[in-house]
Amino acid sequence: MLDTSYRVEIPGGIELEAQVVGPVPRFLAFSIDFIIRGIFLFIASLVSIPFGQLGIGFWLILLFLVEWFYPVLFEVFRNGQTPGKKALGISVVQDDLTPVSFGTSLVRNLLRTADFLPFFYLFGLITMVSNSRFQRLGDLAAGTLVISVRESSKPATIDNITALAPSTSLLKIEQTAMVDFLHRSQQLSHPRQQELASILDGVTHGKNDDGVDQLHRIGAWFLGVK
């Protein structure tokens, strides 16, 4: 089966996960943006016609600016989303899942020329289906990904956790830490969870996965789970 999950671990042992997006939704998003640009330029041409050569010159400058900076400005200032990407629920991010910068967005969009060759983004399509992250040439050069933003991170499920009272009294800050660990456990890599559990083995009296399970159960107890 095709796995579109993309994971990256950031400092602190927190593991972020996203779903990379394939060619179809990206093509649909591009089509929406293409139509929007086309309508805008058509209206601008109607306004420019009465001004003769000056109007034509203005329209050509506008064409250049819209073609090259429309996606860049939206990606940088609108959370990686052009109107087309927003409609499809996708977004451009850097490969560490941080927002794109002006430089990375500019690189990925300037290389659309190479992706377009030899006709209608054939190189870009071939490149996308040739790697597991669906990166076109511009993405590979800029270090960017297109991910789904409709998949929101799910909170920790505590309904199926059997609560366990701690074996010793804990300070308020320690109780809060237990609850935070339970809520954030799905964002932490498994080795990081075990590492944190080992620090608190005096409370959990467990090692490795057993210690992690004890922390979850104690956290649930402080949340009032019965």
User: What is the DSSP annotation of 185-219?
Assistant: GGGB-HHHHHHHHHHTHHHH---HHHHHHHHHHHH
Mean pLDDT of 67-88: 93
Number of other residues whose CB lies within 10 A of the CB of residue 142: 23
- Please count the residues of the chain: 226
Considering Cα of 109, then 111, then 113, then 117, what sign does the dihedral take? negative
Instruction: Please give the residue that has the higher pLDDT: either 28 or 173.
Output: 28
Mean pLDDT of 65-78: 93
Query: How far, CA to CA in Å, does 58 sit from each of 39, 66, 72, 105, 115?
Result: 17, 12, 21, 25, 28
CB contact at 8 A, 85 and 148: no
Query: Terminal CA-to-CA distance of the chain, rounded, Å?
Result: 39
pLDDT digits (tens, 9 = 90+) for 106-154: 999 999 888 888 877 888 889 998 888 999 999 999 999 999 986 544 4
**For 60-93, b where at least 16 C-beta lie within 10 A, e where not — what string?**
eebeeebeeebbbebbbeeebbbbbbbebebbbb
Q: What band does 1 get if pLDDT is binned at 50, 70 and 90? A: very low
What pLDDT does residue 14 have?
58
- Neighbouring-strand partners of residue 188: 14
What pLDDT does residue 210 have?
81
CA dist 6 and 139 (Å) reads 15
> From the CA atom positions of the chain, what is the Rg in Å?
25
Q: Which residue has the tokens 């042992």?
A: 13
- Percent residues over pLDDT 70 in the chain: 89
Nearest by Cα to 76 from 98, 61, 56: 98
